[in-house]
Amino acid sequence: MNIMVKVGDFFLRIRNQGDRSKLTIWNKTGTKIVSEFISSTTPNFWDQIGKLTSPEVVDKVHSLLQQQK
């Protein structure tokens, strides 16, 4: 799966690399904010993503991950 969407001022990409999904987030100027594998994330990871971006970004990522199951 390779998905790219815009959420507010951020661009998200979720892509499979082998058996793991990788999340990459850029801001509206193209600066990469996050590029991490998300197969073994913790609640703290999502809190940090929310602080760096927005709660809407976290919600959208969770929604996309649910759709891929």
More confident residue, 68 or 15: 15
Structure tokens at 28: 């509206």
* Chain segment 28-64, per-residue pLDDT in tens: 999 999 999 987 778 899 999 999 999 999 999 999 8
Ramachandran bin of 18, using left for φ above 0, alpha for ψ from -120 to 50, beta for the remaining angles: left
Confidence at residue 42, expressed as pLDDT on a 0 to 100 scale: 86
Model-level pTM? 0.88
Going along the chain, which residue ranges are E strands?
A: 2-7, 10-17, 20-27, 32-37
Confidence at residue 69, expressed as pLDDT on a 0 to 100 scale: 66
